[in-house]
Amino acid sequence: MNQTFSRRNFLSVAAAGIATSAAPRLTLAADSSAAAESSQVHWHDVRDWGIEGRGFDDTEKYFDRLPARAKGVVRNAVWNLSRHSAGMMVRFRTDATEIQVDHAVTSSNLAMPHMPATGVSGLDLYAQDEQGNWKWVAVCKPNKQHMKTTLVQGLRPGMRNYSIYLPLYNGTESLQIGVDSSSQFEPIAPRTEKPIVFYGTSITHGACASRPGMPHPAILGRRLDRPVINLGFSGNGKLEKEVGQFLVELDPSVYVLDCLPNMVAAEITERTEPMVRQLRDAHPDVPIVLVEDRSYSGSWLLQSQETRNQTSREAFKAAYRRLLDAGTERLFYVDGESLLADNRDDTTDGSHPSDLGFFNQANAMEPALRQALGA
């Protein structure tokens, strides 16, 4: 049984950080330093109970996405991008009416030309309602590399579960969560269920979400109630066997391969079948979802973009058919035309989804993932 998917690409360029103004329920570091320094605040280092979305324990820095031994094995560009904390999140339970954070990122480049600091370097807070649904609460607006600030205040009374998504296009150096000493605080350890593993491009990485909780891997993680490991490498998702050798070390519920936006037809023909065989040899029963490239928004007018989409998809579909003919089972396929809106109005730059685009992309991918997972 098959399904259809799609995807896109981009390069990873950083721009100068931007200062942002305060918004309701958010206080910038300069405004909240006194509160954050208060002796009434108890601080909790998230490393003490663990971050969800870390696939490897033997990392050079705690919040890296690939193990230290990947350095010199994967290309330098992949290694450098693996230092970003995309897809990681931490969970806890508290009855506090105010939540503070002490957060440092590895780069002073807090934003990019096409992506705000809230998505590149921010923290994104969600809470679970009485029905068990995760709903957005607040986002940190970073204006410097080290933020010690009130993330949210004035919360309704009551004990509830919270989660914080970490920055998408910056590395996390450290993160502590602060609540008043009179409040209860209970760490929630990372879930032990097998994760959905996404391997892809800048779109999987998170460009150009306005918040870390908005890329489709995060949205689908909430909808399917599954842990997620995000191995999107901006401009460098290329179905490489060197990355594959670390993918096979994971124990996933499903692999999602979404690299077409960074590849041309010849590369797709050369690498798709070896990558699938590499994963299948290590995990005979784990489903694999193949995702086409998303349609460029301007392809209806730009022949070069339409040709890029067509040639990539033809090569990918041919590889998919050969795999099926060879007896490869538990293989699913998502066509690219389904990923974005027909009116082409849900990207930031014609290639990378806006928040609306990520929402639409999650809608398109969800049925295929449910089928693959048997959910």
Q: What is the pLDDT of residues 287-331, one digit of tens each?
A: 999 999 999 999 999 999 999 999 999 999 999 999 999 999 999
**Sequence letter at residue 154:** G
Cα 133 to Cα 155: distance, rounded to the nearest angstrom:
17
pLDDT of residue 39: 58
List of residues 6+ apart from 221 with CB closer than 8 A: 196, 227, 228
Is the peptide bond between 140 and the residue preceding it cis, with omega within 30 degrees of 0?
Answer: no
pLDDT of residue 338: 95
Architecture of domain 196-373 in CATH? 3-Layer(aba) Sandwich (3.40)
Do the Cβ atoms of 254 and 285 come closer than 8 Å?
A: no
The secondary structure of the chain in percent helix, strand, coil, rounded to multiples of 5, reads 30, 25, 45
Which part of the chain is CATH 3.40.50.1110?
A: 196-373
Give strand ranges (E) for 181-301: 185-188, 196-200, 228-232, 254-258, 288-291
- CA proximity to 99, closest of 35, 147, 151, 140: 151
| Cα within 13 Å of Cα(21), Cβ side | 2
User: What pTM was estimated for this model as a whole?
Assistant: 0.89
Which part of the chain is CATH 2.60.120.260?
A: 29-188
pLDDT of residue 375: 73
Task: Let me know if domain 29-188 sits in CATH 3.40.470.10.
Answer: no
Cα 199 to Cα 286: distance, rounded to the nearest angstrom:
15
Cα 216 to Cα 22: distance, rounded to the nearest angstrom:
27
Cα 295 to Cα 212: distance, rounded to the nearest angstrom:
23
Which residues of the chain are modeled with pLDDT < 50?
A: 1-38
Q: What residues are paired with 197 via a beta bridge?
A: 229, 255
- Sheet arrangement for strand 41-45: 41-45, 172-180, 98-105, 146-153
Q: Which two tokens stand for residue 72?
A: 């010199």
